Structure 1
Amino acid sequence: MKCKRFIIDGFTLIELTVIISLIGVLAAVAITKFIYINSDAQTAATQAIASALSASNANNYTSRKLSSGAGIAISNCIDLSNTLKGGLPSGYSIMANATTANVNIACTLIGPNSTSAAFTATGIN
């Protein structure tokens, strides 16, 4: 009498456990990366607005130097928010630092989630 062999196709319990464990580890790593991507994006947005303020400062200073009727007078870092089209976006603020004519000062932009970035203001009457 011949014995019949049973061929069972499929995965063993150990193989399934290993695969599920690997998926869990990959998910944990992906979630951690996603959390950091969100804060990195917020930091980049704050730095972009600070760069726009610096560029706006240079344009305003040049315009005002050429014609006293052009641009706006800058005596404080906060005054630079008026040089941006549409003003400073909501959720952002500028630390107040006074300046005098033709003097560059370092200013700080505070964004959501306490992100911050530096920009330059030049005083002009």
Structure 2
Amino acid sequence: MKAKGFTLIELVVVIVILGILSVTAAPRFLNLQDDARNAAIAGLRGAMNGAMGIVYGKAALMGVERAKEANLDTDGTGTLDLAIAYGYPKATLNDLSIVVQGLREDWAHKEIPGSASIHFGIAGYDKTCIKYTQAGATSAATAVVIKDPAECSGLTK
């Protein structure tokens, strides 16, 4: 009479194979959070670059794209609500949140005292962030991805 079912050795082999698969696959699945965060930060960079282009276009139409300091009406109310430098938004939370929807609510930030830069990223995630640098007399504004934990730490909402 033949016995049906699995032997103890077969069960142990299957458990060992499943253990090996989980050890090799787990790091890839755990890294998906970093990938998602980095993709969100890259999306923020794209939104900032788009907003910078729109603001510069409006500044050029108003003839203030070369002014060291100027203000623009962004919502058509007649109120000059956006401070710009050389045609681009100044590096402040208030000015950038006017042109990038959800910036104040969804993203953590860190203003850099004594510089014309501000960092944006995800609170508690210091591997990657965005550094927005305000335009100067000879340079356009930039929004670049920074992958330096020292620069990306200390972001707060």
Both proteins in one fold, TM over 0.5:
yes
* Aligned match for 1:116, one of 93, 112, 129: 129
1: CA distance, partners of 2:136 / 2:58: 13
- How many equivalent pairs are there? 112
* Matching residue's letter, 2:38: T
Higher fraction of helix: 1
Using a 3 Å threshold, how does the CA distance of structure 1 residues 86 and 92 change in structure 2: closer, same or farther? same
Note the alpha carbon deviations across 1:8-53, whole angstroms, 9 max, x for none. 1222111111101111122223321121011111111112112211
2: CA distance, partners of 1:14 / 1:86: 58
- Unaligned stretches of 5+ residues in structure 2: 65-71, 75-81, 138-157
Q: Which residue of 1 aligns with 2:84?
A: 74
2: CA distance, partners of 1:9 / 1:16: 14
Q: Whose Rg is larger?
A: 1
* Aligned match for 1:8, one of 3, 11, 15: 3
* Matching residue's letter, 1:12: T
Kept in 1, the 8 Å contact 2:107–2:120? The answer is: no
Using a 3 Å threshold, how does the CA distance of structure 1 residues 57 and 46 change in structure 2: closer, same or farther? same
* Aligned match for 2:40, one of 37, 45, 50: 45
1: CA distance, partners of 2:107 / 2:73: 29
Kept in 2, the 8 Å contact 1:50–1:117? The answer is: yes
Q: Percent identity?
A: 27
CA RMSD, 1 decimal: 2.7
Kept in 1, the 8 Å contact 2:111–2:119? The answer is: yes
1: CA distance, partners of 2:83 / 2:6: 75
Between 1 and 2, higher relative CO (CA 8 Å, sep ≥ 6) is seen in 1
Q: Which residue of 2 aligns with 1:101?
A: none
Moved more, 32-41 or 80-89: 80-89
TM-score under structure 1 normalisation?
0.70
